[in-house]
Amino acid sequence: MLDAISHFLKTIGISSPSHLGWITVVVTFLIAGVAAWRFIPRLRVFALEVGWADEPNPRRLNKEPLPNAGGLAIFAAVVVALVIARFLRPNLIEHVQLQLLAILLGGSVLIISGFIDDQFGLPPWFRLIVQLFAGLLLVSTGIRFNVLFGGHLSTVVSVVITLIWVVGITNALNLIDGVDGLAGGVTFITSVSLLAVAAQFKGVSVDPTNPAAASLVLAALAGAALGFLRHNFPPSRIILGDSGAYFFGFVLAASSILGNLKTTTVFALFPAVLFPAILFLLLPVVDTLQVVLRRLARRKNPLSTPGKDHIHHGLLARGLSQTRTTLILWAITLVANLVAMIVQGVPTAVMVTTAVGTVVLLALIVWRRRRAYRKAAALRAAEAASLAAAGTIEGPPA
């Protein structure tokens, strides 16, 4: 039995099943998931008390105030998971500590700016400056695309491409966060897929783009996203807000570079050649591109002009519910990620395991959320019936 398990683990990319490396990744995932799951209910109550919520308006789908501080719980869950991982495998963390700190510091800056924007509003140019600063933090620690063109300007080209990528993906995740469960599900699916790819690269090196840092960050991010979905799948009880969406996008952008999904040719500039990192994040990239082009065609500012021109808005306009819209876009994301894994040369066994594991975990979360919703609805109905019966017995007031 143990031999069979060891053989399976080796098949999916775990070269040394007896070592603690892969166990640390699994524990990091579980801790982040449980932390997000448990943090959010308390944060939700507090957010409603202090007014950290999106009020209903014609652009939003919520019919009552909805807490928008989910990003705070997600960030806290990721940090807790990575801190515990530091104690589990101190030697491993030492090799990638600088990169992890850069990602967490950049993420914290975006969390803060996004939270302020959620509550008070910030001008687009200020948000862009903050995102560029976060991208430069990554570049300063060597987290950037490597290019083989541009001659003596190759470093400049590398930095520019990296900043465009980071800012673009950070905003792309925020732009698709318009339907309950969509951004969280896309982040979970993409994180698990990138984690599977990162696992195919063995060992830890001093190279700042080694996959060890990516594995830990992606495990924490996937766990936090899954725990968040327990409360965010339709009908949601809390939303990411700009803070959470920015954090999701930033970490995915950084991890796609760390996990050896970096380009070395001029073709990185052209999405049409199915550059792997773009494939993994195909849905937010395509959605953002079509929104930007449509708004520019109308001579509107793509960053500050609200509208219902996203892919999910189109599905809702066709009569689909939020639940069906989210599930359809999850499925598209999973297919795009599997295609990206094929492009990356990931073994079939790894792809099948990743797909099955992703579907099972998402199905479990959806089932738990829907079950909790039905119980709450039944309880409200029972309370309403009890109040109605009491009113009938007592009769109308004099």
Is the separation of the CB atoms in 28 and 81 below 8 Å?
A: yes
Structure tokens at 305: 């002009």
Give the global pTM. 0.89
**Cα–Cα dist 152/146, whole Å:** 13
Give Cβ neighbours of residue 7 (< 8 Å, ≥ 6 apart).
none
User: Nearest Cα to 262, choosing from 190, 137, 375, 158?
Assistant: 158
Place of tokens 């109550």: 45
Please give the pLDDT value at position 261.
54
pLDDT of residue 114: 95
Rounded CA-CA distance 325/51 in Å is 29
Domain of 215, in residue numbers: 2-394
pLDDT band for position 2 (50/70/90)?
A: low
**Number of structural domains found in the chain:** 1
Report pLDDT digits (tens) over 275-315.
677 889 999 999 999 998 888 888 887 766 667 889 998 99
Residue 56 pLDDT: 72
Rounded to an integer, what distance in angstroms lies between the CA atom of residue 213 and that of residue 204? 9
Backbone angles phi, psi at 67, to 5 degrees: -55, 135
What does the pLDDT look like over 112-124, one tens digit per residue? Answer: 999 999 999 899 8
What would the pLDDT profile of 239-268 be if each residue is shown by its tens digit? 999 999 999 999 999 988 875 554 433 344
pLDDT digits (tens, 9 = 90+) for 168-201: 999 999 999 989 999 999 999 999 999 988 877 6
Q: Which of 114-118, 201-205, 384-388 has the highest mean pLDDT?
A: 114-118
